[in-house]
Amino acid sequence: MSHKKIIALGLFLIFAISACASEEPQSVAPKASIQETNDVEQGAANNEEPSSTATATTAPVENQSTTTMQPKNDQNSDQSQPLTLLATAFVDVADYWGVQPFATRTNQLGVQFHNGIDYFTNQEQVGVQAVSDGRVMFVDIYERQPDGAFQINLAWQAPSGEIISYSLEPSAGPADAAKIAEQKVLAQKMMESMTIQVGDQIVQGQFLGYLYGQDDWAHVHMSVKASDRGPEQWLCPADFMPTAGDSDLLAKSSIWADRLYKGSKQPELCNY
């Protein structure tokens, strides 16, 4: 083989090796890029915990779309399910002797303003139930001002949007130091009996806990507010009780009025 042929063959081999080296990265890079894209799409589709920055950026976009649409669906569902309440907050309807009715500031009978219904009992321990379905908003021990009396306050939002609240009060009216000290103990006892916590979904008739009383004026105060937005608009609970007319609520409201007003007033369950 001549010297010129050897040089030509050497140049050919160098050129071939260089061409192979330049083509190799082009086959690797696209493969890595496709794998990364698949990982991001799979993570977003499964709504898994983000494993990379790309996944964390992609997933909330899908979640945001779901969150935006969900309230519209809930609102339509709420409108098709009007609020319906049981006639009493007590598990046993025989546990209350009197009822203080709802009364607005402009009621014609001159009954004191009252934004709900009170169920009075002379029992030391009374089971309390939910009068409607809903999601629990709060359950707290509350120190009432200005006398410092203690009670349990709780509330939930019904599927139709209204807020139902209870105050579990061992007594009513002003309390002296000894009575307040006992109420503090009873409030803690009631709190320990509660079967619900914030965020729980509850159903109508569900047992919630116990009211512990000190005297004949122990009661559950139940109120209904139109919503949790805007100015307070109190609603008469009896307007949402299909069985109110067949219950003894009105009769026991008269007992309450006779005891407090000495027969001078004949209130209705909703004194507008």
What are 163-192's pLDDT values in tens digits? 999 999 999 988 999 999 999 999 999 999
Indicate the class that CATH gives domain 93-271: mainly beta
- Residue 119 CA, distance from chain mean position: 23
Model-level pTM? 0.72
Q: Cis omega before residue 146 (within 30°)?
A: yes
The closest alpha carbon to 120, from 223, 255, 238, 236, belongs to 255
Asked if 223 and 165 count as a contact pair (C-beta separation under 8 A), the reply is yes
* Residues 193-252: tens digit of each pLDDT: 999 999 999 999 999 999 999 999 999 999 999 999 888 999 999 999 999 999 999 999
| Boundaries of every domain in the chain | 3-79, 93-271
Determine which helix (DSSP H) or strand (DSSP E) holds 207, and give its type and residue range.
strand 207-212
How far apart CA 89 and CA 116 sit, in angstroms, is 12
Distance CA 88, CA 118 (A): 9
Instruction: Look up residue 183 and give its two tokens.
Output: 């109420």
pLDDT digits (tens, 9 = 90+) for 103-146: 999 999 999 999 999 999 999 999 999 999 999 999 999 998 88
